[in-house]
Structure 1
């Protein structure tokens, strides 16, 4: 894996992440985050969700032990996605489902 900064489409806040070269989801990056960065992503998701009207689509996150639980809402229904760490302690937040891209230098 290689280290890059990634940004979620529609945001200007970037996060350092680990990327497996050549591995994408529908053309988007599939980032893995170290624990300290994952904590920042979780905080950012919750802060961002707090700023949206309740009937908008949003994502919140919480910790259950070492696992991140993402709660995704489309404004009507919610689903939970569990993100346990891999053997290196990295978390796949939105990997394979969200529109992450590399930060342009």
Structure 2
């Protein structure tokens, strides 16, 4: 693990053809990447999250951005409450650790 933030591309392990630009400090969780994203990219991930699960006919998966709390909410059928990802300040940048330490991200 490095203390320096660096740019990288990331994808869900199950969808390698769809990548998202983000940042990493080299952290991993069970061998998976723990990325940070700018808000615009986090919004793209939220859109993709719903589309990714519609492919599996699972329409109960969706994501939304709550501007009052400045968090992304990811809903699914596996839990009563959505997963929440708020911003983190990393090296002076406001970034969102969408899925860090809980999703299977791959760094390209």
Shift of 1:78: 4.3
Which SS does the other structure have where 1:46 is aligned? helix
Structure 2: runs of 5 or more not aligned: none
Which SS does the other structure have where 2:95 is aligned? coil
Which of structure 1's runs of 4+ aligned residues deviate more than 3 A?
Answer: none
**Counterpart residue number, 2:74:** 70
Which SS does the other structure have where 1:63 is aligned? strand
Could you tell me how far apart the structure 1 residues matched to 2:41 and 2:82 are? Answer: 21
Checking the alignment, whether the CA contact within 8 Å between 2:39 and 2:95 is kept in structure 1 is yes
2:35 is the counterpart of 1:7: no
Could you tell me how far apart the structure 2 residues matched to 1:95 and 1:16 are? Answer: 14
Shift of 1:37: 0.7
2:96 is the counterpart of 1:94: no
Structure 1: runs of 5 or more not aligned: none
Q: 1:59 to 1:96 in 2, by over 3 A?
A: farther
Aligned-CA RMSD value: 1.9
Deviations 1:4-44 (A, max 9, x none): 001111102000111112x1100110011001111111111
Among 70, 83, 94, the alignment partner of 2:85 is 83
Aligned length: 98
2:25 is the counterpart of 1:20: yes
TM value normalised by structure 1: 0.81
